Amino acid sequence: MIPPINVLLAIFYRLYVTPVIGPAFHKIMSTPAQMKKNLASHVFVNEANITDELVLEMNELALMKRPIYLQPSFMLGHLDPYKSNIDVENVLKSIDEKQIPVNLVLGSKIYEKQFEDLRKMSEKMQMCKLTPMQGALWS
């Protein structure tokens, strides 16, 4: 039996912050080939937008010296200020009350039902304009 996802993520996090295992795994996951694969599967829809310069820049950024807890925290969403979609919706609902103009940019290919729900909600709001991007996150 496969353990629940939160257990697997906790194990992954613990391994990633282990002094020898974590840096070795991070180096393997940060090769130019792996960076290109990650960009193609998680960020860009059109692979023509993934230039060699972009891959090199992402590779350099990935291998920068930084606190050991930063990368796995980012990967697992521990740094995300919103803990749920309801948190995001509540912030968006408060925009009209505060009269703050906002351009909300979301990837239209990720979580299509959630995207559609946010699109419907933003249509009812005066102060929020939704700009769908053609990509998983952006492109």
3-class DSSP state of 124: coil
One pLDDT digit (tens) per residue for the chain, 139 residues: 777 877 888 888 888 888 888 888 888 888 999 888 888 876 777 788 889 998 988 888 888 887 777 777 766 666 666 667 677 778 777 877 777 777 766 655 555 667 777 778 777 777 777 776 655 554 3
- pTM as predicted: 0.52
Length of the chain: 139
Residue type, 105: V
Beta carbons of 50 and 36 less than 8 angstroms apart: yes
